[in-house]
Amino acid sequence: MPELPEVETIARGLQNAVAGKRIASVRVSLPKVVWPKPARFVRELTGDAIDSVGRRGKFVVISLRSGRSLVVHLRMTGRLIVQPAGATNSQPYTNVLLTFDDESGLAFADVRQFGRMRLVRPEEAWAAEVGLEPLSDDFTFERFSGLLEGRSTPIKVFLLDQRRVAGIGNIYACEALWEARIHPGRPAGSLSRERRRRLHGTIVSVLRRAVEQRGTSVDDYVDAEGLRGGFQNKLRVYSRDGSACFRCGRTIVRTVLAQRGTWWCRACQHR
DNA sequence: AGGCGTACCTGAGGGC
DNA sequence: TGCCCTCAGGTACGCC
């Protein structure tokens, strides 16, 4: 489900809703989604408190008072939903439920069972493989351009590689390439400086606008309060095959790259 | 090292 | 109606 803007929206919502709360109990309904194994996961989490909630790439990072972190990846259909005090958990497919001292709760639900929760120790370098944050000051044009150097992989496949730039998924890769008028199959390292410049700009711009809109709800994404995002109304290419390109009027096509649907305009996105 | 195919899951939607 | 197929916002793994 979620890419950077959706995960950012969820993390902000959780920061508002659950920061400061003490975890009174933990229920794991699907053992494979937590690490370490449920017995230890529950024991270590119970009694700890939430200091703050942030994001790294597509990971939600729940920082605990003990110094540990609860790191969550939602994969395709995972949700983190706040349960108000007194309300019984109504989220279908809840795999993990945290209940706080005030009887409010946090449900980790996931129909497809791909999402994972991992409890990490204070000094654990769990994000060593996670790439540049595209909305941080680290994401300069020169650094981005340097990452592209010598890469023969298609530029769209490069954008999906979380070890290089973190947080871009299928929707925003398609959108950024369309806005930069670049062919998704173009070898990453062969892009001219001018095109790298354009792409660097459209990545930052599309992610910022999507965060402002609280993410994209194409199908079932909702934020921590269960609300849909707004960026699905601003998409220019994603999922628009058969429709007219907003820029040139030609028909948007869907092709497959690295086993992922890829939407683009044959007329105005060039190699 | 990097690229490709497959696996992990359930559900929605289209064609017949 | 209902069956069968494809597809889905993601990543890990094994193979070449």
Mean per-residue pLDDT, A100-109 = 97
CATH number for the domain spanning A95: value is 3.20.190.10
Helix and strand counts by DSSP (H, E) for chain A = 6, 11
Pick out the nucleotide with least CA–C1' distance to A5.
C9
User: Is any atom of nucleic acid chain C found less than 7 Å from the CB of residue A76?
Assistant: yes
Pick out the nucleotide with least CA–C1' distance to A92.
B10
Q: Exposed, middle or buried, A89 (CB in 10 Å: 0-12/13-18/19+)?
A: middle
Quote the number of domains for chain A: 2
Same domain assignment for residues A200 and A101: no
Same domain assignment for residues A112 and A155: no
Distance, angstroms, CA A256 to C1' B5?
A: 14
What does the alpha-carbon distance between residue A91 and residue A251 come to, in Å, rounded to a whole number? 40
Same domain assignment for residues A156 and A204: yes
What does the alpha-carbon distance between residue A47 and residue A150 come to, in Å, rounded to a whole number? 50
**A264 membership: H or E segment, kind and range:** strand A260-265
Q: Is residue A228 included in any domain, yes or no?
A: yes
Q: Is residue A25 included in any domain, yes or no?
A: yes
Residue A25 β-bridge partners:
A99
Q: Is residue A201 included in any domain, yes or no?
A: yes
Q: Is residue A113 included in any domain, yes or no?
A: yes
Place of tokens 């400061």: A20
Q: Is residue A271 included in any domain, yes or no?
A: no
Same domain assignment for residues A68 and A171: no
pLDDT above 70: residue A15: yes
Provide the pLDDT for residue A220: 83
Distance, angstroms, CA A52 to C1' C11?
A: 26
User: Is any atom of nucleic acid chain C found less than 7 Å from the CB of residue A32?
Assistant: no
Distance, angstroms, CA A112 to C1' B11?
A: 9
Q: Strand A94-100's sheet: what is its strand order?
A: A23-28, A94-100, A105-110, A78-83
Provide the pLDDT for residue A86: 84
Same domain assignment for residues A116 and A206: no
Chain B nucleotides reached by a protein CB under 7 Å: 2-11
CB under 7 Å from strand B? A 32, 111-114, 151-153, 157, 258-259
Contact A237, A214 (CB under 8 A): no
pLDDT tens across A131-181, in order? 999 999 999 999 999 999 999 999 999 999 999 999 999 999 999 999 999
Q: Is residue A156 included in any domain, yes or no?
A: yes
**pTM reported for the whole predicted model:** 0.97
Over its C-alpha atoms, chain A yields an Rg (Å, rounded) of 20
Q: Is residue A256 included in any domain, yes or no?
A: yes
Structural domain boundaries enclosing A60? 4-120
